[in-house]
Amino acid sequence: MLTAIRTDLAIIKERDPAARGLLEILLCYPGFQALVLHRISHRMWHWGFPLLPRLLSQLTRSLTGIEIHPGAQIGHGVFIDHGMGVVIGETTEIGNRCLLYQGVTLGGTGKDHGKRHPTLAENVVVGAGAKVLGAIQVGANTRIGAGSVVVRDVESNSTVVGIPGRVVHQSGVRINPLAHSALPDAEADVIRNLMERIDQLENQVTVLHSYLQKLTSDRIPDDLQAREAQNLKDREILEYLGDNPSN
C-alpha cells in the first residue's frame, strides 16, 4: 500500500504543474486523499466485515466529494484531478497511471450481481463529466472526452467522444494526457461533410438549370429559377463549427 501511495504522489507531481510540494499535495489534493483512504477501506473490505469500510468510504465522500466503493480495485499512479462528484462503483477495476477528472462516473447497469462496472486498462484518461457504464472494457492509452457516455467496449489507443460514445482510432500516436483540446469534434466533422455535399449538389443543379435554359424556349417556372448555392459561408453554421466567418 505504501508503494501505491508513493506512486500516487509521483504521478501528481509529474502531471500537475500546480503541485508545488509534497505537503501541499498531502493537505490540498482531495483526489490523493480519497485514494489513500480508499486503499485502507479496500484492505478492510477483504476482512469480511463490509460495514466498517463502507462507513470509511462515506466519510471519504463527505471530506473529498469523491465516492469510491471499497470493493473497487485501483492500480498504482492513478490521479483524480480535482475530483468533486467522482463516483467509482464496487466492481470497477482501474489500471495503473489512469487519470480521472471531476464529475466522472464509473457506474453499473442493472441489478445483477457479479461484475457490473467498467474495467479501465493502463493510461486511460476520462474527461470531466464523462460516464462509463456497465461491465465494459476500456483499452490501454484510451482517452474519453468530457461529457461522453460510454456503454460499449473500447479498443486500445482510441479516442471516444459524444453521446453515446463514438470511437476515433489514433493508434501509434503518443498524446499528452492533459491535452484535452486535442480531442476531435466528430459532430462538427460530420456537419462539414454534409454541408460540402449540399454545396456540391446545389452547384450541379445550377449547371443543369443552365443547360435546361439553353435547350428549351419555354419559360421556366419561378420556383425552378437558379438560386445561389449553399456553401460554408453561412455565418450561423460557421459559428457553430467554431470556424472564422471572415475566412
Residues 52-68: pLDDT tens digits?
Answer: 989 999 998 999 999 99
Helix (H, G, I), strand (E, B) or coil at 92: coil
Q: Which residues are paired to 131 by β-bridges?
A: 105, 149
Cβ contact 136:154 at 8 Å: yes
E strands present in 51-122: 67-68, 73-74, 79-80, 87-88, 93-94, 99-100, 105-107, 119-120
As a whole number, mean pLDDT of residues 196-212 equals: 81
Confidence class for position 183, pLDDT limits 50, 70, 90:
low
CA 172 – CA 156 distance, rounded (Å):
10
What's the mean pLDDT in 176-204?
69
Residue 83: pLDDT band by 50, 70, 90 thresholds? confident
Is 87 a residue whose pLDDT tops 90?
yes
Tell me the pLDDT tens digit for each residue of 90-124. 899 999 999 999 899 998 887 777 888 999 999 99
User: Which pLDDT tens digit goes with each residue over 146-160?
Assistant: 888 998 888 888 888
Query: Residue 64's beta-bridge partner residues?
Result: none
Question: What local confidence, expressed as pLDDT, does residue 221 receive?
Answer: 53
Sign of CA dihedral 133, 120, 163, 87: positive
pLDDT of 137 reads 92
DSSP state of 229: P
Are residues 118 and 148 in contact, defined by beta-carbon separation less than 8 angstroms?
Answer: no
Q: What is the pLDDT of residue 235?
A: 61
Residue 14 has pLDDT above 60, yes or no: yes
Q: What is the pTM of this model?
A: 0.68
pLDDT at 222 over 60: no
Please check the confidence at residue 134 and state whether its pLDDT lies above 60: yes
